[in-house]
Amino acid sequence: MDEKFYRWLVQLIRDGQLKKFYDCARWRKLRREAIKRDNNECQMCKHLGRYHRVENVHHIKEVKDRPDLALDINNLICLCVDHHNEVHDRYLSIEEKKQKKLESFKNFDPRERW
């Protein structure tokens, strides 16, 4: 990754504009390469002896933590939506999980129960 790209990426992270990275040609090209490498399969499903086509290409080390690895194919893994969610859930700290639970309680409407 060149210096210019790296700086641009760091700025996007600061501005909360990572979507722009996911729209850029360099990411899209690398994403295609990762999908090809992983035979269009969710690698976690594969590990479980199942087949599911790729829905998300995930950064093992998250872009916001390691922008230098954003374009490193060895930092990418192809996953289905379910496994992608699972992986991201795992990253949440216990505090964040508690917060999530609290929020679901807040949205709970007892009148809907019968």
| Contact positions vs Zn ion (CB under 5 A) | 42, 44-45, 52, 58, 80, 83
- 30 vs 58, beta carbon nearer Zn ion: 58
SS3 76: strand
Q: How far is the CB of 37 from Zn ion (least distance, A)?
A: 16
**Residue 27, token pair as written in the block:** 């990411």
Q: How far is the CB of 44 from Zn ion (least distance, A)?
A: 4
- 3 vs 36, beta carbon nearer Zn ion: 36
Q: How far is the CB of 57 from Zn ion (least distance, A)?
A: 8
Concatenating the DSSP letter of every residue in 33-67 gives HHHHHTTTB-HHHHHTT---B--EEEESS-TTT-G
**Residue 11, token pair as written in the block:** 């700025």
Candidates 14, 3, 113; CA nearest to 63 is 14
